[in-house]
Structure 1
Amino acid sequence: MNGSEKNGENCLLYESILNCEGAPAEKVKRALQIISSVFSHAVEGIVVTDPEGTIKLVNPAFTVITGYEPEEAVGENPRILKSDRQPAEFYRKFWESLKTEGKWEGEIWNRRKNGEVYPEWLSCTAVYDENGNVTDYISVFNDLSEVRFKDAQIEMQSNYDQLTGLSSRSVFYGRVRDELSRLKQTGGRLAILVLDINRFKIINDSLGHPAGDAVLQEVGKRLAGHLGSREKISRIGGDDFHILLSDVKTVEEVEKIVEYGKYAPLGARGVGATAGSGYWYEDYAQHGFEHYFTVSNRETMLLPQCETAECLDNIEEIVKVEGIDGIFVGPFDLSTALGKPGDFNDPVVKDAIAHVQKVCKSAGKFSF
């Protein structure tokens, strides 16, 4: 493409108003007024530089977005906006595209005068004279900060529990699947801990939902504080919390976390809540997970809790129900079903759990 062809592209912007050459003075004046108005009132930032990259002109939106006044920017290089988020290779390709194609467009991270780094969509175009030499570069950019903020809000609402900030059910079990895939290659141990707040309905009914919400938030806060992350903790629903523990070495490690999240004081009101717990712990290298752990496309880990002795009597039938991947029972359930204290060491409770595990294993289901 020669210089006149390249320059012809630039003329297309206002060719309907100005024929680029030989236009009447009044028509030229009117065209310049229109261009000036667009330049001044555009919500996009506009920067004009010389071929060496020195800033010659900026519009008001440039100041709004970057914080630099015209007198601070003119005479400077656009490097004053550089955020250091992009590697040198990024800028090499940027200039290569400008020199060979006369344009570049894409997302870039820049820095405002106040130091804030922000994303923008940048379109940069070369302007040529009749001999094909670059006379100017015109850059137009949009601030994407608000768009990214809204995207983050949508992602937060989709992937995290709004009350506790913990992972959603789908995100949590996606991480479980990832861990299982990893352990196929590396071996190791994994545990899934389940916490259920005892008599949570009584707290809600007697003290109100704000008190119940405070208990849920406190449990989530305590667990996240102990584990150092909210990413592997999920409030599955109601007062049920599931925790993914990777690379655990002993059952005792799991039980420590059980104890830590078990008591949730409710501030100055002096109300406390206790959490019942159960966990699934397996050594992949010894046994393998796949036989015990599957995820249904219809219902991810439907975990019915045994609250009557009849539930235990019918466990063989329950595990056959289509869509149920596993059975969740623990001392806090069995204390109701068997009339026994919620204690893992109680012989009756231990026998009941062993029975459930045996039935689930024979049915190809997992059990907590």
Structure 2
Amino acid sequence: MNATLLDTLITPVVMLHDDLTLAYVNPEAMALCTQPYEAATPFFEVFPFSKQNADLAALLLRLSHALLEAQCSDILGCCLAGKKGRYTLRVTRLAPSMGLMVQIVVPQQAGAQRVSYFNISPVAMMWTDSHDIIQAVNPAFEAMFGYAQADLLGRTPAFLRDGLDEQTTLEAMWKAVVDEGHWKGEVHHRRQDGEVLTTQLSLSAISHDHCATTYLSFFTDISHHFEQIKQLKARAYQDYLTELPNRFALDDTIYELILTQSYFYLIFIDLGYFKQINDNYGHLVGDRLLHAVGQRLHQLDRAFVCRYGGDEFIVLLPISAQPSDVDTAFSSPFLIDGQAISVIAHKGVAQYPRDGYTSEALIRYADKSMYKMKSSGFRS
């Protein structure tokens, strides 16, 4: 078994099948082993614990039958051959026919709170049987997904993915678990309230020759991480000054239009005498003017508006519109800090596919067209 989360614990943890043979031993527990072992080796052969006037094997077997799922009980005052001090064996029943979790509490931790890692783990955990039917979940799982354990027992985790297209991911997951015993990746799940969570799922198989395979899953909610990425991506595609899309967003939009539209216009706009506006009114007014220009252009029907850089804007229009529609944005002065500022706009027009087949070709054509009109004294 490759249970990566349990491997990181500083607490020795051993997973046992119902016949008290080993299913999994984490690295901290391996340090206490007295001999090499393989899966299905009896627990007390590898961990020769003893307790005065007690048959530990019989006691552990009785606990395996007496404990209810997710319940735990301590066996105090255990000695380990070759080691000093007394240990506590904290035994947790995972679910019927699912085996036991044994935490070995070392002497210096003898006063530790008497609860099972399964119950106090901040990581959501789920046990399923050989048919992937849920046998137990821990409180962290209940908190993450909003379900009580009683609502989950006897169901498969598939209902947590209702309406979510995860088939390709799940096929890859089960192939890896069958081939390698373990898989880790991103899977979407739905909470009881309908909210979709992006989770990092770690799934491990526990099996040996004479017992059916069972599965241990760890879930980590990474939805906030994806929300942060979404916000960063939005910022990366937005001009900070005008709040319009920037040239990265422009490239994506042109590419999409090329794939989906037969024709469209690309209009390159340059604001005339903008340097003089900055000199006369100050750069703060100039910045606010750029924002106001962007907002007026943004109000054009069916227009995609981008601040290309400096005082340059690019507008994409459907072929059913007219390039002259952009002139309305400059037909009246802009009121900035009480100042009425008239703006002259020079524009150049390119039409797809007549004037180019790529974003670079269309922008280059419209830019040259704009400079020809600018040099000839044309104004919008």
TM-score for both structures, normalised by structure 2: 0.59
Aligned residue number for residue 167 of structure 1: 245
Residues 136-151 of structure 1 mapped to structure 2, 5 A cutoff: 136-151=214-229
Aligned residue number for residue 258 of structure 1: 327
Kindly indicate whether the alpha-carbon contact (under 8 Å) linking 2:278 and 2:286 is maintained by their aligned counterparts in 1: yes
Change (3 A) 1:162 1:283: closer
Deviation at 1:89, TM superposition (A): 5.1
- Counterpart CA distance in 2 for 1:139 and 1:33 is 22
Q: Is 1:67 aligned to residue 67 of structure 2?
A: no
Structure in which a larger fraction of residues adopt helix = 1
Deviation at 1:279, TM superposition (A): 2.1
Gaps of at least 5 residues in structure 1 are: 304-324, 345-368
Kindly indicate whether the alpha-carbon contact (under 8 Å) linking 1:263 and 1:275 is maintained by their aligned counterparts in 2: no
- Counterpart CA distance in 2 for 1:261 and 1:112 is 51
Change (3 A) 1:343 1:158: closer
Over the matched positions of the two proteins, sequence identity in percent amounts to 21
Aligned residue number for residue 226 of structure 1: 300
Change (3 A) 1:204 1:225: farther
Deviation at 1:140, TM superposition (A): 0.8
- Counterpart CA distance in 1 for 2:280 and 2:267 is 30
Kindly indicate whether the alpha-carbon contact (under 8 Å) linking 2:23 and 2:208 is maintained by their aligned counterparts in 1: no
- Counterpart CA distance in 2 for 1:264 and 1:8 is 82
Change (3 A) 1:133 1:76: closer
Residue by residue over 1:291-346, the C-alpha shift from the partner in whole angstroms, topping out at 9 and shown as x without a partner, is 99659xxxx9699xxxxxxxxxxxxxxxxxxxxx8474377x56xx96xxx646xx
Deviation at 1:224, TM superposition (A): 3.7
Gaps of at least 5 residues in structure 2 are: 2-16, 50-55, 57-77, 79-86, 91-101, 106-113
Question: Secondary structure of 1:220's match?
Answer: helix
Partner residue of 1:29 out of 71, 89, 95: 89
Question: RMSD in angstroms over aligned alpha carbons?
Answer: 4.6
Find the structure with the greater CA-based Rg: 2
Deviation at 1:237, TM superposition (A): 2.8
Question: Secondary structure of 2:118's match?
Answer: helix
Kindly indicate whether the alpha-carbon contact (under 8 Å) linking 2:266 and 2:314 is maintained by their aligned counterparts in 1: no
Residue by residue over 1:39-90, the C-alpha shift from the partner in whole angstroms, topping out at 9 and shown as x without a partner, is 3454432111233333333233323432334454445432342252225455
Change (3 A) 1:290 1:141: closer
Change (3 A) 1:330 1:64: farther
Question: Secondary structure of 1:68's match?
Answer: coil
- Counterpart CA distance in 2 for 1:291 and 1:92 is 38
Aligned residue number for residue 241 of structure 1: 313
Kindly indicate whether the alpha-carbon contact (under 8 Å) linking 1:265 and 1:273 is maintained by their aligned counterparts in 2: yes
Aligned residue number for residue 71 of structure 2: none
Partner residue of 1:16 out of 31, 50, 60: 31
TM-score for both structures, normalised by structure 1: 0.61
Q: Is 1:131 aligned to residue 210 of structure 2?
A: yes
Kindly indicate whether the alpha-carbon contact (under 8 Å) linking 1:197 and 1:273 is maintained by their aligned counterparts in 2: no
Q: Which deviates the most, 267-276 or 254-263? A: 267-276
Deviation at 1:225, TM superposition (A): 4.4
Count of residues in Structure 1 that have an aligned counterpart in Structure 2: 297
